[in-house]
Amino acid sequence: MALRIHFTAEDLARTSVAAGPDPMWEILLSGFRLREADIALEHRQWLREVRARRRLGPSLRLLSVLTPLRHYIPDFLTPDEGRDGFEAGLEALASTPRRRLRREVLHLARTSRVPDWIRPLADGDVTYLEQLCAEVRMLHEDAIAPYQEIMRGNADTDRSIRARAMLSDGVEGLFRSFGPQVQWEAPVLTVHFALDRDLYLNGRGLRLVPAHFSRHTLDALADPELAPVLVYPVDLHSRWTQLSTSKRGSLDALMGATRAAVMDAVEDGATTTELARRLGTSLSAVSRHTGVLRDAGLISTRRRGAAVLHTLTPLGRQLLDRQL
């Protein structure tokens, strides 16, 4: 089955890659990961840390009912305002119109088995909507907020990859960079999908959103009238830890915290600009640190087009692996 997205010339001009993860989508997808019996390797460390903080399962009763692992998911859980941050997204969720709540909850009841006690939410019961927002905030605090630094860094790297693909080969290169799940045959983008459907953009464009908790699949909103998005899995370049000093302490002590952070950031390759953005420092400072690391034989540097790409040498990788 496939999702066929139909573009016009205007849609291509309005297609963009989000600047970072959308917290509302990450909350939705992380809830799936928490309930999976077979958690992916890249999420296991995250799962252990989240479960150590709080036993979330019983606390997410309403959210779990609204997000079955298969079938329809109400679109109001991932409002477009999430692009402006968690608080904006949560405010939009809390302000969901009663008519929309009823329409989408009843549609969920037609496609999945839901308990009778959820009906007050469909009727716009404020208490139920407040409880839903409280559960969403709880999940964000325990499962998303502690990892924002990692998520932003990975999103920056991913965005740079998409930008390079676009600059090199145009929109075809951008779509091709998403791998075999996506095929572009102008003017239609075909995406491997859980359902067979067509989406006509009609000049609205498409926003491509990286997601850390997506598992090898792409997601989209069910309602074709809403602002079109395509949520795709981002490569998890960084480990799912909080990058605490204790975990990187030995390397910090050896070469200093900043150079240790540079080593960690170039594990899967990064340009000077990406390093500066991820570490929150200047290009000149990054160049100084990479120069020292290169002279020590820990990283290698080569030019790729207009950019300079840094990667670990075998010695650098061995050093990084030993200190984790």
| Residue 239, in any domain of the structure | no
| Residue 244, in any domain of the structure | no
User: Pairing between strand 197-200 and 188-192?
Assistant: unpaired
* 40 and 88 share one domain: yes
CA distance 277 to 272: 9
**Are 108 and 222 a contacting pair, CB within 8 Å?**
no
Which residues of the chain fall below pLDDT 50?
238-239, 241-247, 324
| Residue 216, in any domain of the structure | yes
The per-residue pLDDT for 323 is: 53
Domain-ending residue, one of 95, 125, 146: 146
311 CA to centre of own chain: 24
* 191 and 261 share one domain: no
Residue-range definition of the domain harbouring residue 201: 2-19+149-233
Enter the DSSP assignment of 312.
E
* 15 and 39 share one domain: no
* 8 and 28 share one domain: no
What pLDDT digit, counting tens, does each position of 51-65 carry? Answer: 887 666 567 899 999
CATH of the domain at 318: 1.10.10.10
The per-residue pLDDT for 252 is: 66
Instruction: Work out how many domains the chain is built from and give that number.
Output: 3
- Calculate ∠ Cα 106-112-118, nearest 5°: 50
For 108, phi then psi, to 5°, come to: -60, -40
* 106 and 172 share one domain: no
| Residue 305, in any domain of the structure | yes
* 28 and 139 share one domain: yes
* 161 and 210 share one domain: yes
| Residue 63, in any domain of the structure | yes
The per-residue pLDDT for 265 is: 81
| Residue 241, in any domain of the structure | no
The pTM (predicted TM-score) of the whole model is: 0.74
- Per DSSP, the three-state class of 124 is coil
The per-residue pLDDT for 244 is: 38
| Residue 242, in any domain of the structure | no
| Residue 240, in any domain of the structure | no
Which residue(s) pair with 308 in the sheet? 303
Residue type, 254: L
* 168 and 314 share one domain: no
What pLDDT digit, counting tens, does each position of 154-166 carry? Answer: 888 888 889 889 9
Burial 2-36 (b: 16+ CB within 10 A, else e): bbbbebeeebbebbebbebbbbbbbbbbbbbbbee
* 92 and 67 share one domain: yes
Residue-by-residue DSSP string for 188-236: EEEEE-SS-EEEE-TTS--EEEEESS--S--B--S-TTSPPEEEEEPP-
What pLDDT digit, counting tens, does each position of 290-313 carry? Answer: 999 999 999 998 887 778 889 888
The per-residue pLDDT for 30 is: 94
The per-residue pLDDT for 324 is: 46
* 60 and 14 share one domain: no
* 101 and 190 share one domain: no
Domain-ending residue, one of 183, 206, 233: 233
Domain-ending residue, one of 185, 207, 233: 233
* 183 and 258 share one domain: no
**Are 156 and 271 a contacting pair, CB within 8 Å?**
no
